[in-house]
Each structure stands twice: as C-alpha cells, then as structure tokens.
Amino acid sequence: MTLPSLVAKYKEKQYVTALKKAVSILDNAYRLAIFENGGDNDFGYKPAEYDTLPSEEGNVVYDKNGNYNSDVLFQILSKHLNIIKDCGRKGDTGCFPEVITSPFNEKTWKLLQMQGNSRRFFVLSDGMSVGITPDFAYIDVNGLKRPNTLGIDVFQVALNKNGIGYYDDGSEGTLKCYTNEFTCSSWVILNENIDYVHCKDLNWKAKTKCK
C-alpha cells in the first residue's frame, strides 16, 4: 500500500471514530431529554402548518405559533450538550458547510436552504457541526473542514423515541448508501468502515468490506 493510500485510510478511520463519538454524544443527550419528558419524544411540538418560504424541497413546516419545532428541540437538547456556537437556523454563519457533495457522483446539496432553513445549527466543543430537526440530525464530524461529503465526513441519523436511529438496518441485504447517500451512517457505525467509496459490491450479508 502506498503512502497516500495509508494516509487516506487513516483519515477514514478518523471519520469513523468521530461519527461514533458524535452519535454517542447526541444519543445520550436525546435519551436524557426523553427521560425527562416522561419517556416521550414529542417535546410539546405544535401542529405543523406550512410556510411559503422558498426552498429546494417545497414548503417548510413550522408550528402554528410561528415557532420552528427545531428551536423547541434545541432548547431541550442544549441542556445536555457542550455547545460553543449557536447559529440558530442560519448555518452559513459558521456552523455548517454551505454545500455538501456526494462521494459517488457530481450531486451537491445546499442543506442550509433546504426546507426553508427550518433546521437548527450549532457547533459542539470538539468542533463537530450539527443541524437538527425533530426527526433527524446532520453531523459534520470535522466541522467546516473539507471534504464536506455525505458518507465521508457528513452523515444523517434519525431521531426517534429510542434515541438515535438509522435509515438502513441491513435487513434488506443491499446497501442503500449506494443510491441514497443520506443512509450511509448506519453502515459506518455498524461495520466501522467507509469502504463503499472504494468498491461498489458491498452488502450487509456477504461482503462488509472491500478486502
């Protein structure tokens, strides 16, 4: 293995370790919040209505009192997190990369504009960037540093009544990450590698790493 290959492999291991750390921190905070709320993860969210703010995903959901539910969740979680910077719903002020890319093709996403900026963005004390909604969280394990790529240093996880959840539990065998980059986090957590960027035939049942 060449030196550049060794360096790349080392960086990938760092990303894996960082994601597992971030998930542990968020899962602990979310579970504490659920416990304090009597075992329920409906933290007083208001019934959703629709704003007319332009976004890449259509209309943005917010509560009928004009308060974004992501702000409600942030106020609850922040009691259990060491946050050094709060960007509100404006992640472009230094809390989250403006553009993230795909590891497989030329696709890009502007998360800060999707859903009318309904996500709440903040930075943890270790430099990790986080964006939350009541249903899921985005994590950039090395903050604004490159590559800012889904499935490498940027990941999405679900938030549910059991804590942190994943979008691909492997039950179907095939690796959904190849066609939906937002589902890659479960593979990284459970198989502890990012080998899907190197070989295209991985699956949950027969091949969980390139070699």
Q: Is residue 60 part of a domain?
A: yes
Q: Calculate mean pLDDT across residues 191-203.
A: 96
Q: Is residue 205 part of a domain?
A: no
Q: Is residue 207 part of a domain?
A: no
Predicted TM-score (pTM) of this structure? 0.88
Q: Is residue 211 part of a domain?
A: no
Please determine, for residue 192, whether its predicted confidence score (pLDDT) is greater than 90: yes
CA distances from 27 to 38, 53, 158 (A): 17, 31, 10
Domain count, the chain: 1
How would you label 50-75 residue by residue, b for 16+ Cβ within 10 Å and e otherwise?
A: eeeeebeeeebbbbeeeebbbebbbe
Q: Calculate mean pLDDT across residues 170-191.
A: 93
Alpha-carbon distance 204 to 91, whole Å? 34
Q: Calculate mean pLDDT across residues 135-140.
A: 93
Give the least confident one: 6-10, 11-15, 140-144, 159-163. Answer: 6-10
Return the pLDDT at 114: 63
Q: Is residue 187 part of a domain?
A: yes
Q: Is residue 210 part of a domain?
A: no
Q: Which domain holds residue 91?
A: 3-197
Q: Is residue 209 part of a domain?
A: no
Please determine, for residue 43, whether its predicted confidence score (pLDDT) is greater than 50: yes
Residues 6+ apart with CB under 8 A from 42: none
Higher pLDDT, 64 or 95: 95
